[in-house]
Structure 1
Amino acid sequence: MAKTSPAQFVRQVRQEMAKVTWPTRKETAVTTVTVLVMVFVAAIFFFLVDQVLAFGVRQILGLGG
């Protein structure tokens, strides 16, 4: 494997960074809100599934009270 000099490495990094397409502020905000909403939805879903399963286990084991 050929060794790359530090200067060559920096040039290559700059070339690759020039190819990067950075998201706009609006795209970042929309993506962030979307992720937060999906996390909330997933948390509610798993909470409900956990409650249903816990209820079922309590009924099966006779711990329903």
Structure 2
Amino acid sequence: MAKFNPITFIQEVRQEVSKVTWPSWKEVWITTLMVLIMVALASVFFLLVDQALSFVVRLVLGVGS
């Protein structure tokens, strides 16, 4: 089993992090806004589907008439 050398580990981590392509602030903001818009749309969609299914179940079972 190889010995663990913290200095070598830190050097390797720094080397790998230097290879990462970090997004610009503009890309981060655009992506964040896109995610928030999609979450809002999905929420409205599932609200409407839930209300429709609830209506159908109440209609079929005759509950709440």
Q: Please give the TM-score of this superposition, normalised by the length of structure 2.
A: 0.93
Report how many residues are paired. 65
Which fold has the larger relative contact order, with Cα–Cα distance below 8 Å and residues 6 or more apart in sequence? Answer: 1
Query: How far apart are the structure 2 equivalents of 1:53 and 1:64?
Result: 14
Q: Percent identity?
A: 55
Supply the distance in 2 between the matched residues of 1:34 and 1:41 (Cα, whole angstroms): 11
1:3, 1:20 → 2: CA distance? Answer: 27
Structure 1: tracts of 5 or more residues without a match: none
Q: Structure 2 matches for 1:1-65, cutoff 5 A?
A: 1-65=1-65
Offset of 1:12 from its aligned partner? 0.4
State the TM-score, normalizing by the size of structure 1. Answer: 0.93
Which string of whole-angstrom CA distances, capped at 9 and with x for unpartnered residues, describes residues 14-41 of structure 1?
Answer: 0011011110000000000000000000
* Residues in 1 aligned to 2:59 and 2:37: alpha-carbon distance in whole angstroms: 33
Which stretches in structure 2 are left out of the alignment for 5+ residues?
none
